[in-house]
Amino acid sequence: MSSIDESRTFIPLNIAVLTISDTRALEDDKSGSTLADRLVVAGHKLAAREIIVDDVDAIRGVIKRWIADANIDAIITTGGTGFTGRDVTPEAIEPLLEKRMDGFSIAFHMLSHAKIGTSTIQSRATAGVAGATFIFCLPGSPGACRDGWDGILAAQLDYRTRPCNFVEIMPRLDEHLRRPKAKGASA
């Protein structure tokens, strides 16, 4: 079981929130507001927040822009993870991922199953890393956003969480992109 190590200093992250919906506007976006409110209360900075329609190219455009932004550490999306014809978030984002995070989906479904039973199988929640940026895709309901943040992301995006967390590995996410030093070069 994870715990908070109070001897470590909290490190605030810059987190962007993207709501994917054909029907929501900022003023009635309960899921995006749930995520934005929770991450700010936890001590992180809301780096960006947008709403985009359920369209693969539109979603990819925003996600690619945020991945390229050195001031964004993590992206959380809400919406578009179901099975209807307009639900295209995994199709838009998964091809951009350099590494998938299968455990996120498993953990999310375990939490969700405890609350909504087998209905959890109607979600294709997914996550991974692209361009040294963590990306988490949650369903579009406020309850799913609360579950995802409270049950997984709040701890994993907190440097004080033990035995491990995402923050402590962030400096190494792009090490495969760095040029290795020449043999004999000093560190």
Task: Please write the tens of the pLDDT for every residue from 132-184.
Answer: 999 999 999 999 999 999 999 999 999 999 999 999 999 998 887 665 554 54
| DSSP bridge pairs for 135 | 75, 128
Q: What angle do CA 68, 142, 30 make, to 5 degrees?
A: 75
Sign of CA dihedral 173, 174, 175, 177: positive
In the chain, beta strands by DSSP E: 3-4, 14-20, 45-52, 74-78, 99-100, 126-130, 133-138, 161-162
Q: Is the pTM of this model over 0.85?
A: yes
Which fold, 11-172?
Molybdenum Cofactor Biosythetic Enzyme; Chain A (3.40.980)
pLDDT at site 178: 65
Q: Taking a C-beta distance cutoff of 8 angstroms, is the pair 75, 133 a contact?
A: yes
- pLDDT tens, position by position, 21-41: 999 888 999 999 999 999 999
pLDDT at site 187: 46
The label of the residue with tokens 């809400």 reads: 78
Residue-averaged pLDDT of the chain? 93
Residue 94 exposed, middle or buried by CB count within 10 Å (0-12, 13-18, 19+): middle
pLDDT at site 96: 98
pLDDT at site 179: 53
Residue 110 clears pLDDT 80, i.e. is over it = yes
Parse the chain into domains and list their residue ranges: 11-172
Percent of the chain residues topping a pLDDT of 90: 88
What average pLDDT score do residues 94-108 get?
Answer: 97
The label of the residue with tokens 């299968």 reads: 102
pLDDT at site 183: 52
CA distance 143 to 140: 9
